[in-house]
Amino acid sequence: MNLLSLAVSLMLPFTDPIYEVAVEQDVPYATAMGYWSHAPVGDKKATGKLLLHSGTPKLLTLEMDIYTPEGDSTEKRPLLLMMHGGSFFIGHKKEPGQAGWCRYFASLGYVAVSIDYRLGYHARKSEFREAENRALEDADAALDFLLRREDLRIDPDRIFVAGTSAGAITALNLAFRLYGDKPMDEVKPLRDKDFRIRAVANLWGAVHDISVVENASVAILSFQSEKDPMVPYDYGYPMGTAGRLLSDPMYGTHAIYEKAVSIGLRAEHHPCPEARHRLHLDDQMKETPRFYEIRDAMVKFFAEEME
């Protein structure tokens, strides 16, 4: 890092890509009973095989990829914890969206982490909610593991969480349901360390109970298509017609934004006109212009929560 880059970093911390990035891949962070923890996106044949095996849970080793800045002298680094989407059925931590965002945030000086979590469920409502709870438990276990890794120099007072679709549902639950003042449902925290989640990037996610937004003072950045075919923009069933069989109605990004503003939380909402669910990647899993727009919005929004 040259002197000019160092000067820029000191003036605008965690907003300029000034570091080379090291990646610690496939780091085990927990074991848990489940169906599977990663699955390819867009491979219908592989997804069909998963359906045949959804009734046989086994002990899984859950893994994460950890992206860190090389050569930084920061005493305490902010953490970005990212969760992929995929309806709690498919997806993996190495998807170009999550991996690309993590690499970029590490170049800013963050510890940025993309996790795998337990996937799969039977086609009934109780199972879908259990899948949500399993993902939440796993995200909590990942955060606990990272906070115990002293070599990562994570600042427990500057934690940011983000996710797309099912990952955004998990990020919202992590930020609001798990650590608020109200009691949780069946999910119990694993942690004995103090920490603070400063902000959540809700990328076309939703919540079942809009009142959870009152649980903690967490800023919310949201992106979603107003014509999203998979997750309600305001209020409704996720996953189209099939959602009525799998899920209760949910509140989408617009409803979450309105609730946050009404109770005085800092919130920023970006409605998008394209009739797509996944905005950051195209059908070939390549980055779209939205990938960079969302990335830059997260950088700015999170930086403003650093104080």
Instruction: Please tell me the total count of domains within the chain.
Output: 1
Does any domain span residue 3? no
Does any domain span residue 241? yes
Mean pLDDT value across residues 274-286: 93
| 3-class DSSP assignment, residue 140 | helix
Return the DSSP state at 113. E
Per-residue pLDDT of 155-205, as tens digits, reads: 999 999 999 999 999 999 999 975 444 444 444 444 555 789 999 999 999
Range of the domain at 84: 21-303
Query: CA-CA distance, 6 to 296, in Å (whole number)?
Result: 20
Three-state SS across 106-148?
A: HHHCCEEEEECCCECCCCCHHHHHHHHHHHHHHHHHHHHHHHH
Per-residue pLDDT of 84-135, as tens digits, reads: 999 898 899 999 999 999 999 999 999 999 999 999 887 777 788 889 999 9
Prediction pTM value: 0.89
Does any domain span residue 194? yes
Q: What is the per-residue pLDDT for 183?
A: 43
Does any domain span residue 25? yes
Mean pLDDT is lowest, of 141-145, 153-157, 225-229, 241-245, for: 241-245
Mean pLDDT over the full length of the chain: 87
Does any domain span residue 243? yes
Q: What is the per-residue pLDDT for 185?
A: 46
Q: Assign residue 172 the CATH number of its domain.
A: 3.40.50.1820
